[in-house]
Chain A
Amino acid sequence: METNHKDQWIADRLATLEPRWSPNVARGRALLASKLEKRNHSLTWIAVASATAVVCIAVLALPATRALAQQLWYRLILNRIEVVRLDLSKLPLQMQVTTNGLEQRVYDMEEAARKAGFRPYLPAPGVLRANPSITITGPISVEQTIHVRDIESALVRVEASDVQVPAEWEGIQLRTQIGPMVELNYPGRVHILQARPMELSIASGFPLEHFAEVAFRSIGVSSWEARAMAQRFAANPAWFLDIPPDAVVNIQEVSLQASPAMLIEELDDKGAVKRATVVRSTSERMYSVSSENRELSMKIADALP
């Protein structure tokens, strides 16, 4: 490609990024003013915080939530991974995600361990030669609240008329704690993500197996399949890694020396592998290793403890 043509070609590519909107200066100025104001009032908020805590306790004591508040929370460790060709984002649950907003770069493994609360593992020596850049994300808390009417509506949509949703489930919450997650980024777009197993907290006595079955039915899973998945889940809680049915991927279980794992290959329009991700778990760690090469991803995943 000649230089002028090359310059033009690059200019054309970059020109596609030109925003199709014009900045709204008045709105920006108002936002700036509001952020300045917020900062000035930050000390006031500290004083208000104690009053807020009282309000929270009062909310928990309201009749609708009192029974839940009085129950002990039962904690499940999700250290098994089950890949499902479903879109779990369609689950009819009210979801609230909170994070401490941290996604921070750290400079060495010591700092990573301190900030993540666990010691991240590196692949065995010789597998990857470069030093990774390290980032920490999370923890992320996900609170899902059951609203009986929402589930009933979803069941109607998928014509699952045989399923009943117990009225006492209304307002029940499921809490999931994810991370902190440590990501090691190597040259060549090689990424190793690791975290402790997720924790799912539910009110003690809540019929999780029954709920899981109803939840799967509400997104269109067949009766027998929903029951089987729910039973597996109750017997050995798993993190369901959902891959929507329309995603163009190859999924297969692979045997590594370390443990069984799932290989997920993302394919491009021509069917070539764009990225290969190996997901595996141990009793104390979940790993996701991705690169542009299947063998490399498997080799790295196998080289982690």
Chain B
Amino acid sequence: MAEPREMEVSNSEGLDAIFRAHYERIARVIGRVIHDQARAEELAVDIFLKWWRNPQAHGEHAEGWLYRTAVREALDELRRQIRRSRFERLFSFVRESPKNPEHLYAVNAEQHRVRSVLEALSRRHAELLLLRSQGFSYQEIAVSLAVNPDYVGSLVKRAQKAFQKEYWKRYGNES
């Protein structure tokens, strides 16, 4: 995983260093779940703020904390968005502003399906799949999710199986 390895941070220079080292990748992980760039970047920034305010997350486990928190926040946001869309449908006074062309473009059918399936999976399965699809090695996943590296392979397999099962249940297995 990227430098710096040591993440003892007590000042804003340290925050800046860790931000520069990890922001882009964290924003991309979140961006897989939240299609809106501005919202994904805002969430990514919030992860660093949370980390900075949480001294217990500093030190050698900082990287793991950052990625674990990022993927969880992204999944929570996805669930909030899906729930909010239900509320909005039910409570007609509360509407999103009209969707812009970029949004309409981004929400293509397959993305929508994959996000819906991820939302329905257990949090752990979704985390594993997201990090793996972002190119994380088994070792990096182990660090990020605080699991034994020896088990990551089988955990990923199980997550893939759950993904496939849920996808087929919802959309059939024609694709």
Contacts and interface: CB of A to CB of B under 8 A. Distances in A.
A130 interface: no
Given A17-B111, A35-B45, A89-B92, A29 B106 contact: no
A10 B90 CA distance: 33
B95 A32 contact: no
Nearest to A11: B133
A23 B41 contact: yes
A295 to B, nearest CB: 19
A40 B127 CA distance: 33
B83 to A, nearest CB: 7
B67 interface: no
14 contacts: A6-B164, A14-B32, A14-B133, A17-B33, A20-B106, A23-B27, A25-B24, A28-B44, A32-B15, A32-B48, A36-B49, A97-B94, A103-B83, A178-B93
Given A13-B163, A23-B44, 14 more contacts: A13-B167, A14-B32, A20-B106, A21-B31, A23-B28, A23-B31, A28-B41, A28-B45, A29-B20, A142-B94, A189-B120, A193-B86, A193-B90, A288-B90
Nearest to A178: B91
Contact of B20 (A24, A25, A189): A25
Contacts of B68: none
Given A7-B160, A142-B94, A27 B49 contact: no
Contacts, number: 119
Interface residues of A, number: 52
Task: Describe B's contact surface by its main secondary structure.
Answer: helix
A17 B90 contact: no
A240 interface: yes
A14 B131 CA distance: 10
Contacts of A144: 93
Contacts of A80: none
B37 interface: yes
B80 A103 contact: yes
Most buried by A among B23, B33, B83, B92: B92
B42 interface: yes
B87 A137 contact: yes
Contacts of B19: 28-29, 32
B40 interface: yes
Contacts of B15: 32
Interface of A: 1, 6-7, 9-11, 13-25, 27-29, 31-32, 35-36, 39, 88-89, 95, 97, 103, 135, 137, 140, 142, 144, 176, 178, 181, 183, 189, 191, 193, 198, 240-242, 277, 279, 288, 290
Interface string B77-105: 00010010011001111110000000000
Interface of B: 12, 15-16, 19-20, 23-24, 27-28, 31-33, 35, 37, 40-42, 44-46, 48-49, 80, 83, 86-87, 90-95, 106, 108, 110-111, 113-115, 120, 129-130, 132-133, 160, 163-164, 167, 175
A303 B50 CA distance: 43
A25 B160 contact: no
A62 B114 CA distance: 53
Given A15-B133, A32-B48, A242 B92 contact: yes
Given A17-B33, A19-B31, A288-B90, A32 B114 contact: no
A17 B29 CA distance: 10
B164 A9 contact: yes
A108 B42 CA distance: 31
B83 A135 contact: yes
A19 B133 CA distance: 12
B92 A16 contact: no
A19 B12 CA distance: 29
Nearest to A88: B92
A193 B83 CA distance: 11
Contacts of A10: 129, 160, 163-164
